[in-house]
Amino acid sequence: MADIPFDLAEPLAHRLRAVVDIEGKIPRALEALGPLATRRVGFLDVPPGKLLDTLCAGAAEATSLPAADPLHLERPDGSLDAIVSLWSGFRGVTDASLAEADRVLAPGGRLLVVHDYGRDEVSGLADPDAPQYRTWSRREGPFLRGGGFKIRVLHCFWTFATIEEAQAFLAEAFGERGVAAGAGLKRPRLSWNVAVYHRWRGGVEPEGILVGGARGAA
């Protein structure tokens, strides 16, 4: 279930979905980097729900795709304009998975991969040695060392109604780490930095293309 960054049992997952990125920064960034509106978009392992509904709004075609490593997509060559992966797909990068994404993408197509970035309060709830917090965002890491990806970091939040509500949820969902994170709260939200790794089909930007209002925006 890749619409949230942690694998939680229901109803904890449902409660988390209600508080993550209520400002809508993730959908806006994906639209700016895609775009997704009026295009054929494949979503890797994204379950039905509010986030998927938002991302699919305005798309000419929205297709659910399985996440696997190496990637294998039951789609004809050049049949999608964008592929969006949220947390569970592209956990690192392999040449085989990039080749499969490029096969399915049309010329000028976009691969958009969302992972946590770290350097925030949410990362304290997870394994501090997890690769998304250490190696993935580095220049020598799997995304940025030569695969044609650029990175955009979004400064998002988990926003609760009250500090007490945040503390109760964090303790229930994340145990001792959640209790520690909740104890330090000065406001009813946690800082959450999200990385969007974005790449043109083939890893090369086509000439004359504008992304996010500026040519080649990072």
- 19-40 pLDDT, tens digit per residue, is 999 999 999 999 999 999 999 9
Predicted pLDDT of residue 208: 64
Predicted pLDDT of residue 24: 94
* Encoded amino acid at 103, one letter: R
Give the SS3 label for residue 41.
strand
Quick check: 157 and 190 in contact, CB under 8 A? yes
Residues facing residue 122 across a β-bridge: none
Distance CA 91, CA 69 (A): 8
Is the pLDDT reported for residue 161 higher than 50? Answer: yes
- 73-131 pLDDT, tens digit per residue, is 999 999 999 999 999 899 878 999 999 999 999 999 999 999 999 999 999 999 989 99
| Cα distances (angstroms) measured from residue 162 to each of 21, 120, 167, 187, 188 | 16, 20, 9, 8, 5
Give which of 64, 63, 71 is closest to 100, Cα–Cα.
Answer: 71
Residue 197 has which token pair?
Answer: 């790794």
Strands 40-44 and 61-65: parallel
Count of Cβ atoms closer than 10 Å to residue 2 Cβ: 20
Query: DSSP label at 206?
Result: P
- Rg of the chain's alpha carbons, rounded to an integer? 17
Structural domains in the chain? 12-116+129-156+193-203 (3.40.50.150)
Distance CA 67, CA 91 (A): 10
Side-chain-side CA neighbours of 125 within 13 Å: the count stands at 27
Predicted pLDDT of residue 215: 36
Is the whole-model pTM more than 0.75?
A: yes
* Encoded amino acid at 85, one letter: S
